[in-house]
Chains A and B, each alone.
Chain A
């Protein structure tokens, strides 16, 4: 039984607008660069750049260009963005963030959400703008009017990139240099596998199995990112996952974020 009138905790809308503003102000240059890069990628689709276009365009919407370097670059950019949203609160120095009258998990989740909304807005704006510019400059060159562009596939791509963002967030909540960890995982795993193969510790067909498990269908992490690497005895190929699978990964990764937020370390 308490004699004082208890103070209340802030509302969810207040918290969200708080974090939104903080990210906008703190990361304004990152946002501009992000928007610039995405816009720039649309322009590569302009005629005259030939094969380079296919290679480096933000051809995330186009079936035929899945798994091209451009796609990986975009994923890395999204990981960088998720790292930036937590750059001012690295692990071990989040005491002030945790001292607020907000539930620990909610506070983290709201910042993650704010970062995702900013990412979405920037992507949508720069893509649409870029596509518009392409259409005006060279009608038919923007990927919305190109072959292989598929109707609702952009949703798959979007959710896939959101999953990349969540994955990057988990890394950012746990490590100080999340982008380095991402590269490590991307390059490190295949290199490890290759090393094992060289040392004769695995049979040749073991590698595709592991690759499938981690990167490919039906459950690989990269499938969750929007495209799947499929390994077979004849080599690697790329394929589109199903939306339900990607959504499943969203759920798993979101839980991972909340878990990472809850890890208590000495601040």
Chain B
């Protein structure tokens, strides 16, 4: 069964576009043909299990890693040949902590970092550091993982870049700080129109900010849609089916995830709800309830459906 969830996003002048991007590390195939499209101004949530290629994707966008094949453009610039210019448009929060510069004091690191970006806002950096309880006088190597991640966020936001790449931004942060980070992101988006590509396990927290979602699995996108499209066309159908039910073969390609074996089953199906409900009824099932899915539920259904294959 191949799901027919669309993976093509139409967008003129997207902030990010990749085409058949592939990358392998020794025997590990990190990306196997990625067609990512992030429209300008979007908050795009990249969701997927560990090792699905989220970090590799971001590194390729930054020209930290060269792809084996395929094309990639950030604001119509290829990172491979215009790496420095591409990186000047990006605020990057890497997963893990800062590498290098561990001997520096935080304040000095921010100053050093800021000198690379003409649009660095010193006041903003200070207020962000304050909001995140960062002590500017301490040395980087003395900080916990959570503290260094907060600093990385300040470094990424303070020059108000047009594109934010956030790799697991919530990782290593305690719940109170996570909430504050969301607050900060919202305030930032209010002041600075930005495009955001965020990868995360904490879908729940970031999903209220997202208006696009791509589900990555083993280096390829299983789905890539705007939130609106997902909401409109991916629904969970609670069904009651008769004993010898032969299923709904017409819908086979559109079924994303099946749950249960009867008489009560729940299917996540892609398609216009009225048409799908109609086809289900025609097949002999009783449709008890149709619900839309939250982004997290949608992602889980898509992933679970794939893993069940």
Contact = CB atoms under 8 A, between A and B. Distances in A.
Interface string A14-49: 110010011001100000000000000000000000
Contact of B116 (A10, A93, A106, A267): A10
Contacts of A93: 99-100
A96 B162 contact: no
Contacts of B116: 10, 14-15, 18, 100-102
Interface string A139-151: 0000000000000
A5 to B, nearest CB: 8
Contacts of B35: none
Interface residues of B, number: 36
Contacts of A267: 64, 99
A99 B64 contact: yes
Contact of B87 (A15, A22, A26, A99): A99
B89 A95 contact: no
B84 A102 contact: yes
Nearest to B62: A99
Contacts, number: 90
Contact of A1 (B76, B94, B99, B103): B76
Given A2-B13, A89-B100, A95-B94, A101 B84 contact: yes
Given A3-B13, A89-B100, A97-B100, A10 B40 contact: no
B161 interface: yes
Nearest to A97: B100
A6 B85 CA distance: 8
B25 A9 contact: no
A22 to B, nearest CB: 7
Secondary structure type dominating chain B contacts: loop
Interface size class of A (residues with CB under 8 A): 20 to 34
Contacts of A97: 100
A266 interface: yes
A7 B99 contact: no
A227 B167 CA distance: 52
Given A3-B13, A3-B40, A4-B40, A101 B88 contact: yes
A101 B117 contact: yes
A3 B87 CA distance: 17
A88 B62 contact: no
Interface in B68-120: 75-77, 83-85, 87-89, 92, 94, 98-104, 108, 112, 115-119
Given A4-B75, A7-B89, A96 B25 contact: no
Contacts of A94: 99-100
Indicate the member of A6, A99, A266 with the most B CB atoms within 10 Å: A99
A264 interface: yes
Contacts of B108: 25
Interface string A119-138: 00000000000000000000
A10 B101 contact: no
Contacts of B162: 4, 7
A194 B75 CA distance: 60
A103 B83 contact: yes
Contacts of A88: 100-103
B66 interface: yes
A52 interface: no
A205 interface: no
A97 B101 CA distance: 9
A7 B100 contact: no
Given A2-B76, A101-B85, A266-B25, A10 B100 contact: no
19 contacts: A6-B75, A7-B161, A7-B162, A10-B118, A14-B115, A18-B115, A26-B103, A89-B100, A95-B100, A96-B98, A99-B87, A99-B92, A101-B85, A101-B87, A101-B88, A101-B117, A102-B84, A102-B116, A267-B99
Interface of B: 13, 25, 40, 62-66, 75-77, 83-85, 87-89, 92, 94, 98-104, 108, 112, 115-119, 159, 161-162
Give me the 5 closest cross-chain CB pairs, A-B, nearest first: A101-B88, A101-B87, A93-B99, A103-B84, A7-B88
